[in-house]
Structure 1
Amino acid sequence: MLNVRPDSLSILLVDDNEADRMLAEEAFDLLPAKVWVNLCATGDQALAWLRDPGNPLPNVIVLDVNMPGMSGLDVLRAIREDPVLRPLPVVMLTTSDQPGDIQQAYELVVSSYWVKQADFAGFVRQIEDFVGFWQHARFHKGRP
């Protein structure tokens, strides 16, 4: 679904839970802002997509922490170890409010750590705040 345009915000959202991906997509669709979201269900799928030179790099990566196989923290580590991907902003958006997860994410240089709101209206407000912030950010130009 990603179709990056210069006047839009592009996001790669990685979450293993199909219902959460659908809720996030619905929340982004409610926004008047131009936001392009590509969805991945696994960390391996996300890294393959990011490393494919045919895909434009997103402005921001959004990761869930708790995923089977490769966790969001594992994906964050792989991104920070990759010289091409390292500059990309990564935001954790997760249900985990465990201090250990939060600490590890910041040790791996996450841009921010957000705990998902339990109700849809609260989640939509989070997405609005998220997009509002990142629309004003300046980004790395992409692949060298």
Structure 2
Amino acid sequence: MTHARPLRVLLVDDNLTDRLLAEEAFGLIDRPCDLVTAESGEAALKLLTHPETLLPDVLLLDVNMPGMNGFELLAKLKDTPQLLLIPVVMLTTSAIPKDVSQAYILHASAYMIKSASFQTSLEQIEKFIEFWIQARVTTRSEMITP
């Protein structure tokens, strides 16, 4: 099934370089995709709970951030009725088994290890976008029951 509108992705990462590289990588992918970034868990939560925000189809979330870390944001998202169904993919440098387990315990949809190579990152992002274009539902209202 093809979708008329671009895939909406929110990337939450405190590292400016990682956000800029992601913006560049998403720009190079030949698929309709809108990337929005947030520099912290707090900023992401504020954006997501703003009444005029178009919610993302999927959220890419770093684990290790100052203030509210990725796990704390993930827990808040899953405790907030209007945000709980947004798929969350942890995108992090941490391959620590405890972190992977914690992500799934908190209902992350997937756990991806950031690549150190830009070319490999580009390939990861391309596969990520392709998957989520196919996996997303047409409208959020179809997912939410009254």
TM-score (norm 2): 0.92
Q: CA deviation at 1:6?
A: 4.5
Count of aligned pairs:
140
- SS where residue 136 of structure 1 aligns? helix
Contact 1:88–1:140 (Cα < 8 Å) also in 2: no
In 1, the alpha carbon distance for the partners of 2:23 and 2:115 equals 15
Which segments of 5 or more consecutive residues in structure 2 lack a partner in the other structure? none
2:95 corresponds in structure 1 to: 97
1:30 corresponds in structure 2 to: 28
Which segments of 5 or more consecutive residues in structure 1 lack a partner in the other structure? none
Kindly provide the CA deviation profile for residues 63-110 of structure 1, in whole angstroms up to 9, marking residues without a partner as x. 000000100111100000001100110000110111111000000000
Contact 1:87–1:140 (Cα < 8 Å) also in 2: no
Two-structure CA RMSD over aligned residues (Å):
1.5
In 2, the alpha carbon distance for the partners of 1:135 and 1:57 equals 15
- SS where residue 63 of structure 2 aligns? coil
In 1, the alpha carbon distance for the partners of 2:54 and 2:104 equals 26
2:68 corresponds in structure 1 to: 70
Amino acid in the other structure paired with 2:112: W
In 2, the alpha carbon distance for the partners of 1:122 and 1:131 equals 14
1:20 corresponds in structure 2 to: 18
Q: Identify if the C-alpha distance between structure 1 residues 53 and 137 changes in structure 2 by more than 3 Å, giving closer, same or farther.
A: same
In 1, the alpha carbon distance for the partners of 2:138 and 2:10 equals 15
- Seq. identity, %: 45
- SS where residue 93 of structure 1 aligns? strand
In 2, the alpha carbon distance for the partners of 1:140 and 1:43 equals 27
